[in-house]
Structure 1
Amino acid sequence: MSSGKQKPHRTTEREFGGVLGATCIPVFLPLTVLYLLSVCRSPSASVLQWPPPLPHASFLWEPVALAIVLGWMLLQSFLYLLPIGTVSEGLVLRDGSRLKYPVNGFSALCCSAVLVGLGLWLGMPLAFLFELIIPLAVAAIALSYLLAIYLYIRSFWAPAHALALGGNSGNPLYDFFMGRELNPRIAGFDLKYFCELRPGLIGWLVLNLGMLMKEVELRGSPSVAMLLVNCFQLLYVTDALWNEEAILTTMDIVHDGFGFMLAFGDLAWVPFTYGLQAIFLVAHPQTLSPLGAAGIILLNGLGYYIFRRSNSQKNQFRRDPNHSSVANLETIPTATGKRLLVSGWWGFVRHPNYLGDILMALAWSLPCGFSHIVPYFYVIYFSILLIHREDRDERQCRAKYGLAWDTYCKRVPYRIIPYVY
C-alpha cells in the first residue's frame, strides 16, 4: 500500500568532476581569489613569482571588514523587501506551482547609489576599500561557507519536489557543493534569487568606485583606463538589474540547486574577481591613447549590442511567440510542444549572448595594457565558463528536445563564435 509520499529524485549524472571536483573546488577557488587579489596589488603583478605574494595571516582578518560585509547584506535584504517594483512569476515547477519574485533589483541599485553618494558627500573615505580588499574577500568567503552549510542542513526538511534534480546524489560533499534544494525560501524571501543579482553585483560596483577613489587619492584624478573599466562594468550590472526578470528562465534559477557553488560564486567570486581590472589599475596605472580608448569603447559597444539584442529576442519569444518582433522568425517544432528559434540572432550561432559576453569581457581587460596577464583572468575564465555552460545546456536540450535539437544543430552548426566554435 502506497504511503502517498513522493520519493526524492536521485542524481546519477555528476558534473564538475563529481565528488573529487566537489571536494577540491571549495578549497582551491577561495585560495584563487586571495591569490589573484594579492597578485594585482603586488609590484610585479606576476602570476609566476615565487613565493607567491600572499598576505600575512594577520592581515587576512579584520573585524571592520566582516562588519562591512554583514551590513551590506542587511542593507540589500532590506531593499529586496521594499514593496516597490513589480512581482513576476517563475517557470512552472515539478509540482505544477509557480513561485512569485519581486522584480526591484534596479530600484535596489538606485537606492544603493544614493546612499553611497550621500556617504561620499559626508566624507566617507571609500578609497580605504583598496587596503581592505583582502579582508573583505575573506569575510565574503566565510559568509558563503556558512550560508552553504545552512542550505545543506535545511534541505533535509524540504519536500521531495523542492529538491534540485542535479544536487541530490546522496554524497554529502557533492550535494553540499551543488545544492540540494532548488528554491530555498525563508517566509517568502528567496535566498538564491536574492544572492544571484543583488549583494554581489551591486557590491562589485562599490568596490570599483573605491578603486577609482583610491586612484584619485594617489594621483589627483582618475585615469581614462579606470573610467572605462568602471563605466563598462556599471553598464553590465545596470543592464542585469534592469532586465532582472529575465534571470527567472536561466539555468541557475530553473535547474541548479542553491549550494556552495552558487553561494560562493554570487557573494565572493563575482565581486572580487570580475573587478580585478580596477584593483590592478590602482597599483599599475596605464595610459591610453584617444584612438585606443575609442577602439575599446567600440568593442564593448558591439559586445553589448549582441548580448542585449539576442537576450531580448529570446526573452520576448519565451513570453509571447506571437509578438510582432518575433512572430515572423523561423522555428522548429519539438515533441514538448515548444518551438526552437532557428533564425534571427539564434540562427546566427546557438549562443549569441555568450559571444557578446566574451567581447565585453575582452573590452574590460584591454584598458590594463598587455604587460601582465592577471587583468585578463576574467575573460579567460569567463570564456571557459561559457563553453562549459554551453556544453551543459547542449546536453539538457538534447535530452529534452531529441530529434528537434539535432535538426537545430544541423541548421546552426556554430555554438558561440561563427566559423570558429
Structure 2
Amino acid sequence: MHLCSCPLQANGMLAYFVTLTTYFGLWWFGIFNPSTVYDHLGEIYSALIFGSLVFCILLYIKGHVAPSSTDSGSSGNIIIDFYWGMELYPRIGKNFDIKVFTNCRFGMMSWAVLAVTYCIKQYEVNGKVADSMLVNTILMLVYVTKFFWWEAGYWSTMDIAHDRAGFYIFWGCLVWVPSIYTSPGMYLVNHPVHLGTQLALYILVAGILCIYINYDYDRQRQEFRRTNGKVLVWGKAPSKITATYTTTTGETKRSILLTSGWYVFRLCHVNMN
C-alpha cells in the first residue's frame, strides 16, 4: 500500500490561507486578541503534552483492535509498539488520514499561527515590530507556505511513507513543532534584536535562498524517481546509482539513487565525514 494511491486531497494551501486570513482578521477587527495565546502558552503546551500522550494511547489500542489496513502489526514489545506505532496509515473512515492531519494540518499550521502570534504580541507590547522579529516571521511563513505548496510531495517523504503512527512522530508534530520550532519568535517578543536594514535584508535573502534550495532538492529527487531517471537535472542527464535490495518476504526490488544536482553537495558532505 502506498499513500499516493489513497484518496487524499491536496488542499493544504487553501486551508493554510483560510486559517491565517481568519486568524489575522479576527485580530484586526478586534474580535480575538492573539496575545491571549501567548499569555497562556504554559497551559497550552501542558495540554498538548498530556493530549498527545492520550492520543497515542488511543492509537495504540486502535492498532490492536481496529487497524485501518493490513499495513499494521505488533513487534511484540509494548514499548516499541507505543513509541514507533502500530499502523502506517491509521484512518477514521475512508478519507480522514490521521497522520496527514496531525503532521500537516496541526503541526505545520500551528507553526505559522504561533509565528504570527509572537509578531502581534511584540507589536502590542512595544508599539512596533523589531526588524529581527519581522525577518523571523517572514522566513517562518515562507517555509510553511513552501510546505503547503509542496504538500503532495511531502506524502512521499520518510515521515508519511515509512514512519509508523506512534508517539515518536505524533509527539513531535503535536508538541515539538509548536513549542521548539517557533521558539525564536517566542524569545524575540520580550528580547527584540535590532539588526539594522542592511543586515536584516542579508539574513532575509539568505534564509529565502536556503528555503528554495531545500524545496528544489526535494523536487529534483522526486522528479527523478517519478520519471525513472529520464529527466534533465540542471540542464543535463543526471548521474545515478542503481541499487537492488531484498525485502523481508524475499522479493528482490530495484531502486535508483540520484547522484547529481543538489545531491552532489550531499555526497561531498558524506564523503568528508
Q: TM-score, normalised by structure 2?
A: 0.88
Structure 1 partner of 2:40: 132
**1:172 positional shift:** 1.2
CA contact (8 A) 1:128 1:210 kept: no
**TM-superposed deviation, 1:161:** 3.3
Q: Does 1:90 align with 2:14?
A: no
Q: Which position in structure 2 is the counterpart of 1:332?
A: 241
The one-letter code sitting in structure 1 at the alignment partner of 2:241 is: I
Larger mean Cα displacement after TM superposition, 332-341 or 155-164: 155-164
Report the CA distance between 1:221 and its aligned residue: 1.0
Is the Cα–Cα contact under 8 Å of residues 223 and 231 in structure 2 kept in the other structure? Answer: no
1:60 is aligned to none
Aligned counterparts of 1:195 and 1:160: Cα–Cα separation in 2: 19
What residue ranges of structure 2 are gaps of 5+ in the alignment? 245-252
Q: Equivalent residue for 1:300?
A: 207
- The equivalences for 1:22-421 within 5 A come to 90=3, 98-123=5-30, 124-157=32-65, 158=67, 161-163=70-72, 168-188=74-94, 189-321=96-228, 324-326=231-233, 328-335=237-244, 336-349=253-266, 412-415=267-270, 419=272, 421=273
With over 3 angstroms needed to count, the CA separation of the structure-2 counterparts of 1:159 and 1:190, relative to structure 1, is closer
Indicate the RMSD between aligned Cα atoms, in angstroms.
2.0
Partner secondary structure for residue 54 of structure 2: helix
- State the distance in 1 between where 2:20 and 2:69 align: 41
Q: Partners in 2 of 1:115 and 1:298 — Cα distance?
A: 28
Q: In 2 relative to 1, CA 323–235 (structure 1 residues): closer, same or farther, beyond 3 Å?
A: farther
Identity rate, percent = 31
Partner Cα distance (1:261, 1:324) in 2: 36
* Partner in structure 2 of residue 80 of structure 1: none
Q: Relative to 1, partners in 2 of residues 1:126 and 1:160: Cα closer, same or farther, differing over 3 Å? A: closer
The whole-number CA distance in structure 2 between the counterparts of 1:125 and 1:117 is 9
**Mean Cα deviation higher: 291-300 or 126-135:** 291-300
Q: 2 CA distance for matches of 1:215 and 1:334?
A: 52
Instruction: Find the aligned partners of 2:216 and 2:228 in 1 and give their Cα distance.
Output: 16
Structure 1: 5+ residue runs without aligned partners? 1-88, 92-97, 350-411
Structure 1 residue 333 displacement after superposition: 2.1
**Separation in 2 of the partners of 1:325 and 1:105?**
29
TM-score, normalised to structure 1, is 0.58
Distance 1:121 1:305, change over 3 A: closer
**Alpha carbons of structure 1 residues 147 and 237: separation in structure 2 relative to 1, 3 Å:** same
8 Å CA contact 1:184, 1:191 repeated in 2: yes
Distance in 2 separating the partners of 1:253 and 1:206: 23
- Aligned residue pair count: 259
SS at match of 2:173: helix
Residue identity matched to 1:177: Y
Question: What is the CA–CA distance in structure 2 between the aligned matches of 1:121 and 1:144, rounded to whole Å?
Answer: 32
What SS does the aligned partner of 2:254 have? coil
Given residue 136 of structure 2, which amino acid in structure 1 is its aligned partner? V
